[in-house]
């Protein structure tokens, strides 16, 4: 029998509020370097690398360059479809099914899961592939290790044993602790991972039967869509009319073609600070420390210090997270409430609710180091070969000092090649561009002065990345 070719589909959406302040709307958890300084999306791409079919990522307009940056970092090539608006997972799966060839075997994975044993994961997928080839929709169930109230559950028709896949009896919503404890003792019950393996044609058939309006809307949005550089944009007007639903509710809980494959390795959806902390081994006092964190007479406490020294003394069962512009201190038992706190911060118009101080751009990133009345200081990092847009500002001037690397600066009709310790002044209203012409990262300090220093005071005249 010829081995199937499996095409990975990575669902890159999600707002990431449960890992605030590290994860925020502008930089959700799937892109944040949460495990060994690598993002969950990066780890997902590594895990999916053995599957040689066409890679497809589905994400949002806001995060398009974050997705492309991670693909570039892994030297992977794939299509990126940008959802004009977030509509939950069912329309995202429909986009993948409609964009793929009918016979493609699609492995649909969220971008924010952690599975340390990649070889065990790969073996589980290949064992389930024949069932998917024969027309089943395979959902992967995780062997439970504790009574979780944060996960949905799958009940299979009998114990899976060594069977590659077994029919599903029922889907169970996130339970109470009492119910979750009962489910843990049932060998036919598994956590619902949200990962799916199925033929594109089968997904289209079931969406057409169970969610026909959704499928029609997605198909028309793709047909009316347009490529844009390395991205594909479905028609926003058509897609915005698409019904919003999860793939579980729209298809999996209604279809009679769903079977479950049991994955018995370690798995986490990294859905809270407690879940992220549990990935690391604790010390002898059950503390977990990362970065510049120190603990004295503490127990059951996790401290993540990103930018400065954080010292804990006499603490018990706390989650402490320090970033450049916000600090979280919470009882470990209350960490699930963080998403509600973020909502309150938004209502209070606290910028840190959604925005990071460090901002990722397609050419690199910038970090707002300091600001005050009529001035702002940024640290700018430009990738080798990358360039900012040709632009001008009406309300600010800029002074650039090169810290590392080689910069080619366009200023009006002039061009200047700057190296370390050299600087240049950009007067208000002057057309300018910054390019990294070296083979290493370009780093510089930018000092802005003027009456208004907002990011919207940019007039782009030319842009490599197609931004307005």
Q: What does the pLDDT average to over 435-441?
A: 95
Task: State the Cα–Cα distance between residues 232 and 306, nearest whole angstrom.
Answer: 35
| Position 468 confidence tier, pLDDT thresholds 50, 70, 90 | low
- Is the model's pLDDT at 166 over the cut of 50? yes
| Position 152 confidence tier, pLDDT thresholds 50, 70, 90 | very high
Which among 296, 264, 290, 291 has a CA at the least distance from the CA of 277? 290
How much is the pLDDT for 4?
A: 74
**Could you read off the pLDDT of 49-59 as tens digits, one per residue?**
999 899 999 99
- Is the model's pLDDT at 467 over the cut of 80? no
Identify how many contiguous H helices and E strands the chain contains and give both numbers.
11, 26
Class of domain 6-263: alpha beta
Q: What does the pLDDT average to over 440-463?
A: 93
- Strand boundaries in 42-94, DSSP class E: 56-60, 79-83
Residue 86 DSSP SS3: coil
Residue 217 DSSP SS3: helix
Task: State the Cα–Cα distance between residues 380 and 377, nearest whole angstrom.
Answer: 10
Q: What are the helix (H) ranges across 309-450?
A: 338-347
| Position 332 confidence tier, pLDDT thresholds 50, 70, 90 | very high
| pTM of the predicted model as reported, rounded to 2 decimal places | 0.89
- Is the model's pLDDT at 1 over the cut of 60? no
Query: What backbone phi and psi angles, to 5 degrees, belong to 23?
Result: -100, 130
For the chain, domain boundaries? 6-263, 273-351, 358-462
Q: What does the pLDDT average to over 202-206?
A: 97
Answer whether 332's CB lies under 8 Å from 315's CB.
no
Which among 194, 269, 196, 191 has a CA at the least distance from the CA of 6? 196
**Could you read off the pLDDT of 371-417 as tens digits, one per residue?**
999 999 999 999 999 999 999 999 999 999 999 999 999 999 999 99
Q: What does the pLDDT average to over 252-272?
A: 94
Same fold across 6-263 and 358-462: no
Q: What does the pLDDT average to over 342-349?
A: 95
Percent of the chain whose predicted confidence (pLDDT) is above 70: 99
How much is the pLDDT for 216?
A: 96
Which among 210, 198, 205 has a CA at the least distance from the CA of 136? 198
Q: What does the pLDDT average to over 451-468?
A: 85
What architecture (CATH level 2) is domain 358-462? Answer: Sandwich (2.60)
How much is the pLDDT for 158?
A: 83
Q: Any residues with CB less than 8 A from the CB of 241 and at least 6 apart, and which? A: 217
**Could you read off the pLDDT of 414-432 as tens digits, one per residue?**
999 999 999 999 999 999 9
């Amino acid at each position: 029998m010829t081995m199937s070719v499996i095409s990975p589909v990575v669902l890159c959406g999600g707002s990431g509020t449960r890992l605030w302040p590290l994860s925020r709307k502008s930089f959700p958890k799937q892109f944040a370097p949460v495990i060994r300084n690598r993002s969950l999306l990066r780890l997902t791409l590594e895990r999916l690398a053995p599957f040689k079919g066409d890679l497809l990522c589905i994400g949002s307009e806001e995060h398009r360059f974050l997705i492309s940056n991670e693909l570039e970092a892994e030297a992977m090539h794939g299509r990126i479809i940008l959802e004009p608006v977030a509509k939950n997972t069912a329309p995202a799966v429909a986009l993948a099914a409609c964009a793929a060839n009918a016979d493609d075997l699609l492995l649909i994975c969220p971008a924010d899961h952690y599975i340390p044993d990649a070889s065990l994961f790969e073996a589980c997928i290949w064992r389930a592939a024949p069932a998917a080839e024969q027309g089943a929709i395979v959902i992967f169930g995780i062997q439970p290790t504790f009574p979780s109230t944060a996960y949905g559950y799958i009940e299979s028709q009998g114990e899976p044993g060594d069977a590659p896949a077994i029919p599903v009896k029922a889907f169970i919503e996130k339970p109470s602790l009492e119910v979750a404890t009962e489910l843990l003792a049932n060998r036919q019950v598994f956590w619902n991972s949200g990962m799916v393996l199925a033929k594109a044609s089968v997904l289209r058939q079931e969406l057409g039967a169970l969610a026909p309006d959704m499928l029609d809307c997605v198909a028309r949005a793709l047909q009316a869509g347009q490529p844009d550089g390395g991205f594909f944009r479905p028609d926003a007007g058509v897609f915005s009319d698409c019904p919003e639903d999860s793939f579980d509710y729209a298809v999996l809980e209604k279809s009679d073609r769903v079977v479950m494959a049991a994955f018995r390795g370690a798995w986490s959806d990294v859905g809270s600070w407690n879940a992220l902390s549990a990935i690391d081994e604790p010390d002898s006092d059950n503390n977990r420390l990362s970065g510049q964190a120190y603990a004295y007479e503490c127990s059951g406490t996790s401290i993540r210090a990103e930018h400065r020294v954080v010292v804990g003394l006499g603490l018990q069962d706390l989650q402490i997270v320090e970033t450049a512009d916000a600090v979280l201190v919470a009882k470990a038992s209350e960490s699930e409430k963080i998403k509600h706190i973020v909502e309150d911060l938004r209502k209070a118009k606290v910028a840190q609710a959604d925005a990071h101080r460090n901002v990722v751009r397609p050419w690199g990133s910038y970090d707002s180091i300091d600001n005050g009345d009529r001035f702002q200081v940024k640290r700018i990092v430009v990738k080798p070969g990358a360039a900012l847009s040709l632009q001008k500002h009406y309300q600010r001037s800029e002074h650039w000092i090169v810290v590392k690397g080689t910069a080619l600066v366009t200023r009006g009709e002039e061009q200047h090649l700057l190296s370390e310790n050299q600087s240049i002044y950009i007067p208000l209203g002057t057309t300018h561009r910054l390019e990294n012409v070296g083979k290493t990262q370009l780093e510089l300090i930018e000092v802005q002065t003027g009456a208004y220093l907002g990011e919207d005071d940019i007039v782009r005249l030319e842009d490599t990345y197609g931004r307005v």
